[in-house]
Each structure stands twice: as structure tokens, then as C-alpha cells.
Amino acid sequence: MSIAEMDNAALDRLVIRADRHKSYRGFPFKCFAEMQAAGAKRHIIKGVFARGETSAWIAPPGGMKSALMASASISVASGTDWFGKRNKERCAVVYFALERADLVERRLEAHKLRMNLPNLPIVLVRTTINLMKQETVAKVIATIREVEIEYGLSVGLVVFDTFAKLIAAGGGDEDKAKDQGAVFANVQRVKNEADVHVALVGHTGKDVERGARGSNAILGDADLMVTISGDTIKTATVTKANDAPEGPLFSFKSEMHEFGLDEDGDPITVNVVSTDDVEAQAAKVRDKWTKGLRLVRDCVDAALIDTGVDHTIPGGPVVRAVAVQAARKIHNARYVSNGEGDRSEAERKAWARNFKAAQEAGLIGGEAKNGQEWIWLL
């Protein structure tokens, strides 16, 4: 048979492809002649959320990761841009608040009041779910379909907050790759069936630089991983992406929204992501962080996670502060010398030099109290 005849035969087979699929006994397949070049990604938020993909958003406790997902949900459901990233498709959002559901609801309500928003296609699911079980996928899909009927709009974004709870609900351990793998297999089933973007909210470990807490299997399954860091100004940084550059994605800050007073006359508040544009200010701050200063910052960050406490700056806000000795101890463990001279002396000088530079540049604040020097990131 000639090549031309083979091509004609292939074309003939295309005609009966639909009938062939009806008789499948194995897995469906696509023949070579049927393949076409893939089109552009089906973005919801350009460069961030795309249908059929998974993103992971990780930060230390209190790092505003859930607040950021509440902000993203508002933008997706309202069809508005998000931190300068273009909204390509207005769609419904299903937010599985597996922990602190009341806090998530207050944040969504705060955005509604602050922006004078009408009814948006966002739903909040408070039920704890075990996504290690394949049977749970059917209920997730059913929820998505019911939301689509409710609003007459396709669901595009599904948020699971937090990833750890999806595993813990099934008695699994996020340190075990096999347990994470079971959840990711079911996340893939959800995406295959519902054609949505799945955003996972997670925690960093004690060493922020090492990424997500638990097994690193999440790196292999997430199409996009974003780590949130910083104190007053926070930066969302792409630390892994399949087809996008790594580096800062955008910066933001938080602010308090006050609903009113409770029965005791105390304000009812919730912290939300601010709509202020802080990118230019954040860029100036990033430019100040040399390699030595970044090590000091990371050591202070790690110490804050381990032993940080709430501290009221005189005449100012409450911040997370830590004893300077705790950060210095971590610096001593992480410092890498050039191999020349006394390592201890080199580390001592590096700490003194860079710590002083960070204070002079206004990157670290400090206060002596009760015989102890407390420091915090600015």
C-alpha cells in the first residue's frame, strides 16, 4: 500500500471514529492522524489560573494565603482583573473552606461591602472532605454541577483550603508521598471531569526556603507554585511553573475591615487583601535586599515561625517579633563561609555587618524590652 493509500485509509477510519469509540473495551485513544496542535491555554486569570491546571499557594501561618484566595475568588466571579493580571473569563467559584470557614466567609463579606458588589457566583462549602477516597470525587463534581445550575454559569475555579486537611480527613500524612499522590490523583479526576482550575492552599515548613510543608510530591503535581512572604508588604513569588518564568508575581498588603461593634462595644474586624497598588514600593524594597541581607531576612522569618510573638510597636501596630538571639542562632547554622580563615569569626562579622545594614535601610525594626532585644521585619 502506498503512502497516499495509507493516508486515504486513515481518513476513512476518521469517518467511523465515532462508531469505533462506542465499541471500546479498553481505554479511549486518539490516533496520530486525529491529533491537532494544542491551542492557547484557556486562561481565567491570564498567567495565573487556567482551566485544567493546578496551582499551589503556600505561606507560613498568618501569611495571608487564604485572604489572597478570597481576593482571587472575587476577581474571577466578578470578571475583573487581579493585580494587573487580565481576567479572560468570568466564571463561578467553589471555595472548599476546610478550616476557618467563618473567617473565609467574613473576608468574602468584607469584599462585598467594601466594593459594593452585587450577588456574585461564589459558594462556600464548609464540609470536611476526604479527597484520598475516589468516591469523594463524584460529590465534588455533583457540587460543581449544582452551582452551575444555580447561577447559570460555568464553574472555573475550585479552591481547597487547606491541602493538608484533604489528606488529614482520610487519616493520611502530608509527609507521605503516597498520601499526597492519592489526593492529586483525585484532583486530576476533578479537573478531567469538570474542566476547572484547582487552587490548593498550603503551609510552608519551618524552613521557608525549602518550600511546602510535608512531602515534596506537590512540586511534581502543581502546574504553578506560589510562595507568599514578607511582613507589611507581602510578595507572591512563582517558585515553580511549567511554562512561565520564576520570580515575583505581584506584591500586596493587608488591611483591616471593620463591620461594626459587638455587644460589648468592641470592633468586629477581619484582615483582607488591600486594593492599594504597592508594587512600586515593593520593588524598591526588593532592590535593597542583597545576598547577605536576604540571609538575615530569611533567618528572621524562620525564627518568627518558630518562636515569634505578638509585639506592639510603641505608637504603632501589632507585629510579629522575635528575640534577636533566635535569628542569630539560625544564621549561625545556615551561614556558608568561603573556606578561608575562621568560620565562626566570618559568620559573626557577616551577621553584624548585614544586620546593621538591614536596620539602617529600614528593613528590620527593633526594640529593647525587659532586657531582651526584639526584632521584626518592616
State the pLDDT at residue 294: 83
Find the DSSP H helices in the chain: 3-15, 17-22, 65-78, 101-114, 135-151, 163-168, 177-194, 217-221, 279-288, 291-307, 324-334, 343-360
Each residue of 340-376: pLDDT tens digit?
778 888 899 889 988 888 887 777 888 887 778 888 8
Each residue of 8-48: pLDDT tens digit?
555 455 445 555 556 667 887 878 877 776 567 899 999 99
Per-residue cell: 159: 479552591
**Cα–Cα distance, 9 to 1 (Å, whole number):** 10
User: Cell 518562636 maps to which residue?
Assistant: 307
**Cα–Cα distance, 127 to 135 (Å, whole number):** 15
Q: Is 99 a residue whose pLDDT tops 60?
A: yes
Task: Supply the angle between the helices 324-334 and 343-360 in degrees, to the nearest 10.
Answer: 130
State the pLDDT at residue 26: 82
State the pLDDT at residue 2: 44
Residues of the chain with CATH 3.40.50.300: 43-278
Q: Is the Cα torsion angle 117, 107, 237, 58 positive or negative in sign? A: negative
The more confidently predicted of residues 253 and 378 is 253
Judged on CB neighbours under 10 Å (0-12, 13-18, 19+), 140 is: buried
Each residue of 159-213: pLDDT tens digit?
999 888 988 888 887 778 888 889 999 999 999 999 999 999 988 755 445 555 4
Each residue of 274-303: pLDDT tens digit?
877 666 555 555 556 677 888 888 898 888
Q: How much of the chain, in percent, has pLDDT values that exceed 70? A: 84
Residues 43-278: name the CATH superfamily: P-loop containing nucleotide triphosphate hydrolases (3.40.50.300)
Distance of CA 40 to the CA centre of its chain: 24
Place 98 in a pLDDT band, splitting at 50, 70 and 90: very high
